[in-house]
Structure 1
Amino acid sequence: MNEVKPDARVYRRRRIVVFTALAVVLALLTGTGIYTASALGAPVPAAAPAVTDPEPVAAAPQQLALPGFGAFAVGAVGFEGLLAAGNEQTPMAMASITKVITALTVLAEHPIPAGEAGPDIEYTDADVDIYWDMVAQNGSVAPVEAGATLSLRESLEALLIPSGNNYGISISNWAFGSEAALVERANAWLAEHGLVNTRVVDSSGISDDNVGTAADMILLGEIALEDPTIAAIVASKSVEIPELGTLTNSNKLLGTHGVDGMKTGTTDDAANLLFTADYAVGSSTVTVVGVLMGGETHAVIDEAIAAMLDSVAPGFHEVTPLEANQVLAEYDTPWGETARGRAADGATVLVWNDTPVDVEVDADPVTLANRGDEVGTIIVRAGAQEITVPLVIDASLSDPGAWWRLTNPGGLDAAAQSGSE
């Protein structure tokens, strides 16, 4: 029988203990290496923005002095819809507002380059006969002489400033061969420009069958203002034409209450005025376009329009809902760095009446960023207006470093999970 010596048994026990301890140490070292590599290479968590959302800004409603008669509408260039209106979809006799349509139709075929007077028109005995025919019909006229040569611009001045019915026919004959041809082209022009509730039967408006709605007249006025020739003519209180003498504007409101255009209209039963007015508001200028149709006399409609404009003008104001460098978001990283999201620029909007101005902040979560990086957008809205301003960060957010990564496994696990979703 062989016996195991005591010293051999001790040796074997010691060997087992040593190898077991080595295995544990190796396991720990291997695990630590894996964790260290994982921690150092993991994405850092994003800092969510704490956003400041400004309250909408709205002025108190402006009280308007509106006419108690007829059909009317008031709009402003660049502003959506109508500022005020009454019976604006009711067709009314336009009278001499028709001449604005005639002028636009002629200029569409024979445009006048900026700073020029356009082609010459020779007037004959036939044009003198037209003059006397208009006088017989009790229509408004402007003087004409056989043998006179006027530029197209001068002819349009005779049409629009003293409201010469005879020049509507004479210009039609020159431009299209006949007044009937002008009427056909004018109605096509109206359809092309979306004035679907307006139609003409002559070039001057002498017939009550020349009709349009107040809503259409606002669009007509805005289109007319885009033509520099018409805009300059209707703003003139008077002009001097050598062959004709001094022509005085029939618009008695011109030069008062901000009015700088556009065209009177008179029927046997009523008076009309398509008007424009300009007002300085802060650093901007507002152009108002309005019409009042169906007044008893021009004195009556002039008084009503003056009161209406005096109440409309104060309703325009500038609002600055956003200042440059305004803080709208704040960032706090889990590793203790802070930064703020600021407006790259300010924003000022021109608004009418109690139109609310809203500021919407869209800030992105941020991990690492350099000072000045764009981290979102700010949108300022007022009616149809919209201004977009970048949101930029005012301090750098740098990597937290190895120590923070190794000692914050929870934060890294959350970041990795968030990035995988």
Structure 2
Amino acid sequence: MTSATGSGSAPRRRVSRRMRLSITIGVTLALIAGGYTAAVALAPLPAPEVALDVPETEEFTVGGEAVQAIVAAELQPSAVGWQHGGDEVWANDEVPRPIASISKLATVLVTLEQQPLEPGADGAIHVWSAADAALQAEFIARDGVAFPIPIGTEVTQRQMLTLALLPSANDFAAAYANSVFGDNATFVAAVDDWASRNGLESLSLVEPTGMDEGNVATAADVLRLGRLALANPTVAELTRTPVAELPWGIGTVENTNALLTRLPGMLGLKTGRSSVAGYNLVAAQESDVLGRPIVKLAVTLGRDSPEARIESTAGLLAGLDGLPQETLLVETDTQVGTATTVDGHEVPLRTTGAASTVLTPGETATRTVQLGDIGVGDAWQVAGRVTVDAPTGAAEIPVVTAAEIVEPDLWWRLTHPARVFGWA
């Protein structure tokens, strides 16, 4: 009995051990599975990857071939450009030539740098000296423009500028330069330094008035000189003044630039004439192009008569009218990027507005696309911006998601652990 009972109990012990082992394994697996599921379910997913579909930065320009064709059609030295067209100048001649009284623009700008004058102000007082009178007599003997006044007369800085720039008085231009620099050598050295600093490589003055044919510059540098004059409020104010009244019996003086009263929007600048230089003119005109105010400049050198320089200059200015272009920089609802979610869905990133500008030849506008981080959310969440930098101003246009971004379901998480945990 004892033997039989003992032999019958052994199998039951083996089953219990297996069951306990199975339970242990099952519980362990359940715990592992539960932990895995919880870990997968709770793990933060990687943010969608954003990528540009367009260049990050793109430049827009207008070519200058049509501008060059305008000056190339002129038989004598000419140049054209725009006041805010960067450094671009289009010319048909690269030889420094006598510029005659256009020299006075450089004289005034160099002298104003040493002795500034606000628009409308009278400025410093200069007492007309015996040296001024002697130099005045020399100009009159050489058939130069002069307005004699008595020695001891008090002349304001503004009056000297007015006479130098409007009727192109040589005596007052020279007296103005000498009153600031003391002598001609110091003045010439100052001009050389100023020209070098302002990129006027061909400009060379040997005296302040233009009576000497050694005062030379290329047509392109004369245009650059005109830009600098327009940028100075006092010079710009005077050169666009048609007439002025002066004391000492001088009376009314007229601007030598006849275009001021012949064309709309004229802003001055300066004429020049001599037996060697011929008839010269640098002129500026403002016009409206597609809502943008634009200033055009033209230079004519060596013309045969006053009418020839007016005709050439007017023709060059008119030729520039149709060349600025409206340029579309950003279109509305344009895809500029793509967001790819962790489960492979692609969401377009699109612009919410448009931007355009008016460019003259030689100008540049820049468009830059910047994308940022995005996450789960509705469509139209901000995903970045397009920044536009143009001569007419800067602008920012938001970039948004064109579709909803949703998280993948639990099953996808369970079956893509490498993606969930960022292993792949």
Shorter-chain TM-score: which interval?
0.7 to 0.9
Matched, 1:95 2:100: yes
- Please list the CA deviations of residues 313-350 of structure 1 after superposition, one character each: whole Å capped at 9, or x if unmatched: 22123334326776644546467999764547653322
Q: Which residue among 65, 78, 83 is the counterpart of 2:84?
A: 78
Specify whether residues 356 and 52 from structure 1 end up closer, same or farther in structure 2 by C-alpha distance, changes over 3 A only. farther
**2:298 aligned partner:** 290
**2:23 aligned partner:** 22
CA drift of 1:134 comes to: 1.0
Q: Secondary structure at 1:187's aligned position in 2? A: helix
Specify whether residues 145 and 83 from structure 1 end up closer, same or farther in structure 2 by C-alpha distance, changes over 3 A only. same
Unmatched segments (≥5 aa) in structure 1: none
TM alignment of 1:56-75, pairs within 5 A: 62=66, 65-66=70-71, 67-75=73-81
**2:355 aligned partner:** 347
Q: Secondary structure at 2:213's aligned position in 1? A: coil
Q: Secondary structure at 2:137's aligned position in 1? A: helix
CA drift of 1:138 comes to: 2.3
TM alignment of 1:15-414, pairs within 5 A: 15-49=16-50, 53=54, 62=66, 65-66=70-71, 67-87=73-93, 89-124=94-129, 126-243=131-248, 244-255=250-261, 256=263, 258-269=265-276, 270-322=278-330, 328-329=336-337, 331=339, 333=341, 341-343=349-351, 346-353=354-361, 359=367, 361-364=369-372, 366-368=374-376, 375-380=383-388, 387=394, 389=396, 391-393=398-400, 400=407, 404-405=409-410, 407-411=412-416, 413-414=418-419
Q: Secondary structure at 2:84's aligned position in 1? A: coil
Specify whether residues 261 and 40 from structure 1 end up closer, same or farther in structure 2 by C-alpha distance, changes over 3 A only. same
Code of the aligned partner of 2:252: T
Specify whether residues 80 and 198 from structure 1 end up closer, same or farther in structure 2 by C-alpha distance, changes over 3 A only. same
Specify whether residues 354 and 183 from structure 1 end up closer, same or farther in structure 2 by C-alpha distance, changes over 3 A only. closer
Q: Which moved more, 1:350-359 or 1:312-321?
A: 350-359
Q: Secondary structure at 2:294's aligned position in 1? A: strand
Specify whether residues 191 and 407 from structure 1 end up closer, same or farther in structure 2 by C-alpha distance, changes over 3 A only. closer
Unmatched segments (≥5 aa) in structure 2: none
Q: Secondary structure at 1:236's aligned position in 2? A: coil
Q: Distance in 2 between matches of 1:241 and 1:326?
A: 62
Specify whether residues 34 and 52 from structure 1 end up closer, same or farther in structure 2 by C-alpha distance, changes over 3 A only. same
Identity %: 23
- Please list the CA deviations of residues 360-416 of structure 1 after superposition, one character each: whole Å capped at 9, or x if unmatched: 54435633469887533425477x999573644368977738xx2454245552254
CA drift of 1:353 comes to: 4.5
Q: Which moved more, 1:266-275 or 1:328-337?
A: 328-337
Q: TM-score, normalised by structure 1?
A: 0.83
CA drift of 1:161 comes to: 0.7
Superposition RMSD in Å: 3.7
For these two proteins, the number of residue pairs brought into alignment is 415
Q: Which moved more, 1:339-348 or 1:22-31?
A: 339-348
Q: Which moved more, 1:139-148 or 1:338-347?
A: 338-347
**1:12 aligned partner:** 13
Code of the aligned partner of 1:219: R
Contact 1:257 1:306 in 2 (8 A): no
- Please list the CA deviations of residues 165-188 of structure 1 after superposition, one character each: whole Å capped at 9, or x if unmatched: 111222123222233332232222
Q: Distance in 2 between matches of 1:216 and 1:345?
A: 42
Q: Secondary structure at 1:20's aligned position in 2? A: helix
Contact 2:242 2:260 in 1 (8 A): yes
Q: TM-score, normalised by structure 2?
A: 0.83
- Please list the CA deviations of residues 228-269 of structure 1 after superposition, one character each: whole Å capped at 9, or x if unmatched: 111100011111123321111111122416431111111213
Q: Distance in 2 between matches of 1:337 and 1:122?
A: 84
Specify whether residues 322 and 206 from structure 1 end up closer, same or farther in structure 2 by C-alpha distance, changes over 3 A only. same
